[in-house]
Amino acid sequence: MDLSRALRYQPLKLPLFPPQFQNPINHLHPKPTFLVPRGTRLMVTAKKRPPIEGVSEELNSIANQNLDFAYTRRQVRSAFVEVQQQLDHCLFKLAPTGIRTEEWYERNSRGLQIFCKSWMPKQGVPIKGVLFFCHGYGDTCVFFFEGIARRIAASGYAVYAMDYPGFGLSEGLHGYIPSFDQLADDVIEQYTKIKGRPELKGLPHFILGQSMGGAVTLKVHLKEPYAWDGVVLVAPMCKRM
């Protein structure tokens, strides 16, 4: 028994190279090692977000929820719609009126509820073309893009946007992208459905990507290069080779 106890706590034989040099990321950012006595309970807590200035305690309480899941993100969005509309920003204060909007949820082939939104020109204005939007990593299609979409729609274009799985109002773990390739496929699937609408038949299709959405847009275009009549990139997350 004494011998087994002694062997149980012997250190493992180290490989030729230490672990931190086997992975270049670990080498650049070494992680600290903690020795915790057996039977000790550890508790990890997230740092509390600072309160949002200028809003009520009730709204701060809603905003302070765990946003990992879609139902809490949707609750926050519903609570802050009025606050968003009153923001002192040209995108909201000078947004064109009369733009027709529609919001809906649709299950994709992976069983996830995807949030979509459209902005259409005023009734009676002919549609020149269709623009599809890919948002950035820390973004959603219903915040700052709301004002941009209204401007584009006022110019005679139908605008469609979606929240990726795990982002904004769509289902999925918040901000988690298990596969960038799958993310591009999710975008293709959703926008292919919209392209099939009768009112969009024969119109040119453009895709706009901002920040990480620029990388998504490039990936989508590489997967189906003949499906688009034009690509627009705004500060795309890509590296020049």
| Interval 15-60: pLDDT, tens | 444 444 444 444 444 555 556 677 777 666 666 778 888 889 999 9
Domain locations in the chain?
22-86, 95-234
pLDDT, tens digit, 9 for 90 and up, residues 110-127: 999 999 999 999 999 999
Cα–Cα distances in Å, from 199 out to 100, 130, 149, 203, 226?
A: 14, 10, 19, 9, 21
Indicate left, alpha or beta for 74 from its phi (over 0: left) and psi (-120 to 50: alpha): alpha
Return the percent helix, strand and coil in the chain, to nearest 5: 35, 15, 50
The three-state (H, E, C) secondary structure of 159-223, written as one string:
EEEECCCCCCCCCCCCCCCCCHHHHHHHHHHHHHHHHCCHHHCCCCEEEEEECHHHHHHHHHHHH
pLDDT of residue 240: 76
pLDDT of residue 93: 84
Mean pLDDT of the chain: 86
Fold (topology level) of 95-234: Rossmann fold (3.40.50)
- In sequence order, what are the residues at sequence separation of 6 or more whose Cβ sits closer than 8 angstroms to the Cβ of residue 143? 84
- Model-level pTM greater than 0.75? yes
pLDDT along the chain (241 residues), means of 10: 44 46 45 64 69 88 92 94 85 89 97 98 96 96 93 97 98 96 98 96 97 97 97 92 67
